[in-house]
Structure 1
Amino acid sequence: MLLANSSEIGRDDAETVAAAMSSMQSLSRAVAPFIGTRNPGRWRQTLLEYEDGWIFLIAAGTGAYLAATAAADVDMEAMSFRMQQQVTALGKAMTTPPRQNAGSEI
């Protein structure tokens, strides 16, 4: 569920990206046991690198994530820090309750 998006992209595109980021976060959690420990802990972030840039996906509250894009030459530390600042500033507004039908069979 999309909570907010940049004014630089339309609502339909933002909904598509939100669904993709939710899937990416889920996939990241699914492969976590392959880091070699039985309980890898909570997922924190996923980075996607492309020839021309990056997609950052970070935890932003219970059931919420913050995604951002950056150019290939981004200062990774500054980008991560700024995203964490944004998550802190948004606080509880970024927490989304579980869907009512989560886990139910159709």
Structure 2
Amino acid sequence: MQEDLSWMLANILKVPGARHALLVSADGLKRGMTEGLHPDLADRTAAAMSALQSISRSTAGFVGTDGEQQWRQTVVEFDHGWLFLVAAGSGAYLAVSASTDVDMEGITFRMHQLVQSLGEEMTAPPREMADGS
């Protein structure tokens, strides 16, 4: 079982308007979450974030055709807030929800800062099968 990395996410909530943060593995498993996020919602959201990053990556060609397109982040706007999703190392993603009045530059800066400062801890290795393969 992988280490729970929730303790690393609390700093993101210091940005006014930030609601929740979730660290997700590429295969849709929750690796950490901020306090106050219901575990069931975190599990569902983790699976959805894995799918969202996959969809985002697959639409890179729509943005441009010059060379290889690299996905950096996905931002989704809702009536009551924002969803931010960024790569957090090999096989890991960081998702943050925020209110409509959040400083978008501030929240994305804090997210990227966290990803850079924690480098290796944010990397989610592929899961191993129970038989060790």
Q: How does 1:72-91 map to 2 (within 5 A)?
A: 72-91=100-119
Of 22-31 and 6-15, more deviation after overlay is shown by 6-15
In structure 2, which of residues 97, 113, 116 is the aligned counterpart of residue 69 of structure 1?
97
* Partners of 1:3 and 1:93 in 2: CA distance: 11
- Residue 104 of structure 1 is matched in structure 2 by none
Once the two structures are TM-superposed, the CA of residue 42 in structure 1 deviates from its matched residue by 2.0
TM-score w.r.t. length of structure 1: 0.85
Q: Any runs of at least 4 consecutive aligned residues in structure 1 with deviations exceeding 4 A, and if so which?
A: none
Identify the residue that residue 21 of structure 2 maps to in structure 1: none
Contact 2:72 2:86 in 1 (8 A): yes
Q: Which residue of 2 aligns with 1:28?
A: 56
Partner of 2:26: none
Unaligned runs of 5+ in 2: 1-28
Higher relative contact order (CA 8 A, sep 6+): 2
**Letter of the aligned partner of 1:46 in structure 2?**
T
Amino acid at match of 2:48: A
Q: Deviations over 1:41-68 (max 9, x none)?
A: 3211000001111000011101111000
- Write 1 or 2 for the structure with the bigger share of strand: 2
Render the CA deviation track for 1:9-65: whole Å, top value 9, x for unaligned. Answer: 122221111100000000001111111215443211000001111000011101111
SS in 1 for 2:33: coil
**SS at the partner of 1:4?**
strand
Asked if the contact 1:33–1:39 (Cα under 8 Å) also holds between the matched residues in 2, the reply is no
Relative to structure 1, the CA distance from residue 31 to residue 100 in structure 2 (aligned partners, 3 Å threshold; closer, same or farther) is: farther
8 Å CA contact 2:61–2:69 kept in 1: the answer is no
Question: When the two structures are aligned, how many residues end up with a matched partner?
Answer: 101
**Relative to structure 2, which stretch is displaced further, 60-69 or 34-43?**
34-43
- TM normalised by structure 2 equals 0.69
Counterpart pick for 1:94 among 122, 126, 133: 122
Structure 2 residue aligned with 1:9, among 37, 46, 49? 37
Structure 1 unaligned residues grouped into runs of 5+? 102-106
